[in-house]
Amino acid sequence: MRILFLSHYFPPEVNAPATRTYEHCRQWVKDGHQVTVVTCAPNHPQGKVYEGYRNRLYQRETRDGITVLRVWTFITANEGFFKRTLNYISYMCSASVVSLFLPKADVVLSTSPQFFNGLAGYVVSRLRRIPWVLEIRDLWPESIVAVGAIKSPAIIQMLEWIERFAYRKADRIVPVTDAFRAYMLNKGIEDDKIVVIKNGVDLAQYAPCDKVGSLAEQLGVKGKFVVSYFGTHGMAHHLETVLQAAHRLSHSKHVVFLMVGDGAERQALVRMRHEMGLDNVVMLDQQPKSRMRELWALSDVSLVLLKKSELFKTVIPSKIFESLAMEKPILLGVEGESAELIHAAQAGLCIEPEQPDELAAKVLELSRKPELCQQLGRNGRTYVIKHFDRTALARKLSALIETVGHMTSSQSDKRESLYEETWEQYNDERLSAGKVLPRGR
């Protein structure tokens, strides 16, 4: 199968969409598929092109057998609605033009958000006359409306129309949560167009390891109970809650908070930490993927937080899977499907979002119960191995892509049964190896 993948983010960027795209594509190449990724010069989240790259019209490289084509975009930091929109639209245009000059492909897959990245798949599918699979990792424009990034009713209405257009035109839609699927069904999208394939984790990359004493000493956390937040410092995460909880625990000298990452809100959070005089909060810039295992090893508890919002009840932050794989108990400040997952895994404790008093109390409780922390961590690792192995999920997605790639217009009414046959054949192979997966639909 010749797969053309459109993704605004790709390594060496280290955010969740870059990781998901890369790990899926890497597995597909191992399984014998030809994969081409069209992306842009790495620059997220600061809007500065990474060392060794340039924002050229066209660049080509190979990474783990994946053909990576980088196109020109209007580059800006991950903040400010107008400039970011120019960034997204410029990628859509560049990717669409470049696709005309690429070798034959059987299917195009685009991932959203970013919103116009997803829509680029429609343009390319029409230009190349190939089927289109649309992956949905967040609901747009709902998610940006929820954090207050857009307030204009006219703009919201326009984006909602584009959203419905994309759902109607895609040959298949791949949301990452069951709640997203329910949302699409409520929009009138046909049931057999939607296949849920959740996020997962590379179990080889994220595996428990011993603490690095020199790093703990370097960061001033040696002998401390380390509560970590790794990931984007954005409007959706309400990380003020972490600093407020740290303030309440300033008298507990054995507890320290470690925050690693970048994003639109990071500088405001750094100022807030300084103004509050929080000596028990360590903040690091975004770190390379190669260093993350060491940082995870330092952690006793992992924080996963979002703003209190009805929309965020539908999401499952990808850092949950990394935490589970690293055997770290989770303190979850997200309601809905994420909380259901943590309860099912028996891998952490849940709090109400934006509640620093509750967060501080749970941190203190876990700091006094090392046996509970260890048990929650072991439960999480067991659960993620069973349900969220990235290799298995990548193969589930490639099975779907193959059915779409072989589908003609006269076969469209048979696409569901074709997918079922391909998936059942793959699951039969896993059965012989003792690794059957749940259907995830």
pLDDT band at residue 115 using 50, 70 and 90 as cut-offs: confident
Same domain (yes/no): 265, 400: no
Same domain (yes/no): 184, 217: no
Q: Please give the C-alpha separations between residue 34 and each of 1, 8, 26, 69, 106, in angstroms, as whole numbers.
A: 6, 20, 10, 14, 10
Do the beta carbons of residue 160 and residue 349 sit within 8 Å?
Answer: no
Q: What pLDDT, on a 0 to 100 scale, did the predictor assign at position 439?
A: 36
- The DSSP symbol for 45 reads T
To which residue do tokens 């079922």 refer?
420
Same domain (yes/no): 383, 399: no
Domain, as residue range, for 423: 394-432
Beta strands (DSSP E) in 210-264 are: 225-230, 255-260
**How confident is the model over 227-247, as pLDDT tens digits?**
999 999 998 899 999 999 999
Q: Is residue 303 classed as helix, strand or coil in its secondary structure?
A: strand
Instruction: Note whether residue 226 is domain-resident.
Output: yes
Token representation of residue 140:
């747009």
Beta strands (DSSP E) in 266-373 are: 281-284, 301-305, 330-333, 348-350
Counting the structural domains of the chain, the total is 3
Same domain (yes/no): 158, 239: no
pLDDT band at residue 144 using 50, 70 and 90 as cut-offs: confident
Same domain (yes/no): 320, 184: no
Same domain (yes/no): 174, 47: yes
pLDDT band at residue 79 using 50, 70 and 90 as cut-offs: low
Do the beta carbons of residue 61 and residue 11 sit within 8 Å?
Answer: no
Alpha-carbon distance of 263 to 15, in angstroms, equals 11
Alpha-carbon distance of 92 to 94, in angstroms, equals 6
Same domain (yes/no): 63, 143: yes
Same domain (yes/no): 367, 414: no
Cα 209 from chain centre = 23
Alpha-carbon distance of 18 to 1, in angstroms, equals 22
User: Regarding predicted confidence, which is higher, 313 or 149?
Assistant: 313
User: Regarding predicted confidence, which is higher, 425 or 218?
Assistant: 218
Same domain (yes/no): 143, 242: no
Beta strands (DSSP E) in 208-361 are: 225-230, 255-260, 281-284, 301-305, 330-333, 348-350
User: Regarding predicted confidence, which is higher, 114 or 415?
Assistant: 114
Q: Write the CATH number for 114.
A: 3.40.50.2000
Same domain (yes/no): 291, 330: yes
Same domain (yes/no): 44, 185: yes
Instruction: Note whether residue 13 is domain-resident.
Output: yes
Token representation of residue 42:
């790495």
pLDDT band at residue 432 using 50, 70 and 90 as cut-offs: low
Same domain (yes/no): 133, 165: yes
Q: What pLDDT, on a 0 to 100 scale, did the predictor assign at position 142?
A: 77
Cα 420 from chain centre = 26
Alpha-carbon distance of 135 to 18, in angstroms, equals 13
| CA torsion through residues 139, 145, 146, 147, sign | positive
Instruction: Note whether residue 362 is domain-resident.
Output: yes
**Mean pLDDT rounded to a whole number for the chain:** 90
Q: Classify 139 in phi/psi space as left (phi over 0), alpha (psi -120 to 50) or beta.
A: beta
- DSSP sequence for 106-153: SEEEEEESSHHHHHHHHHHHHHHT--EEEEESS-TTHHHHHTTS---H
Picking from 139, 159, 193, the residue at the C-terminal end of a domain is 193
Beta strands (DSSP E) in 312-390 are: 330-333, 348-350
Q: Please give the C-alpha separations between residue 388 and each of 1, 17, 197, 383, in angstroms, as whole numbers.
A: 24, 16, 10, 8
**How confident is the model over 199-208, as pLDDT tens digits?**
999 999 999 9
